[in-house]
Amino acid sequence: MALEYDPDWPGLTDKNDASGSGSPELNRPEIKRIAGNLRTALDALITETQAPARFVAHAPGDNSPLPGPPSGAGSLPDLRRECGLAAERYGSWRAAQSFYAAANVAFSQLVGEGAIKHDGDSRSPGGEHLQAGTGAYADLVTRADAAAQALLTMVDSYDRAEQANGADASREV
């Protein structure tokens, strides 16, 4: 990941540009803000919405449809809850079994299985990692978490190096 080569990278100024001249000062509050924005976006991908009603009482003759998914639905747990298929639903009809097999392969590759959980030590930046299971969506979630962790680890290591060098470290946020 080479975010620091982006001309808009926080901390680059006229003196400290991408060519490397000047002092390599990081704008740590801005980098922490970017990491926070990544975390907020990640929360939308991993937070399960309220499950919709499966059964609704209707008056006789009322055939209105079930309510749709709640607003904001589309997180990884939502897709695993709503889109998972079970083989027993399709019986022995060959066309249904073929559909199930194709849909199950697509589901496995795109959404996958597993639970979203944290592991590691949450007391230090970069110590806690998100595990999202298998599938392309889970891989996206894991990579977004790793990017936010990398930003926070970079700021933490910069702060530690500044303290070790005896420089003013009171700029921590």
How far apart (Å, rounded) are the C-alpha atoms in residues 28 and 146?
A: 18
State the DSSP H helix or E strand holding residue 117, giving kind and residue range, or none if neither.
Answer: strand 117-120
Q: Per-residue confidence of the chain (173 residues) as pLDDT tens digits? A: 455 556 666 665 555 555 555 555 677 888 889 999 999 999 989 998 877 666 677 788 888 887 777 777 789 988 888 787 777 777 788 888 888 889 889 999 999 988 888 876 555 455 578 889 999 999 999 999 999 999 999 888 888 877 787 755 455 54
Q: Would you say 100 and 132 are in contact if contact means Cβ atoms under 8 Å apart? A: no
> Torsion over CA of 141, 41, 80 and 128, rounded to 10 degrees?
50
Residue 1 confidence (pLDDT): 44
Q: Would you say 150 and 37 are in contact if contact means Cβ atoms under 8 Å apart? A: no
Residue 81 confidence (pLDDT): 82
State the DSSP string of 73-113: --SHHHHHHHH---GGGGTT-HHHHHHHHHHHHHHHHHT--
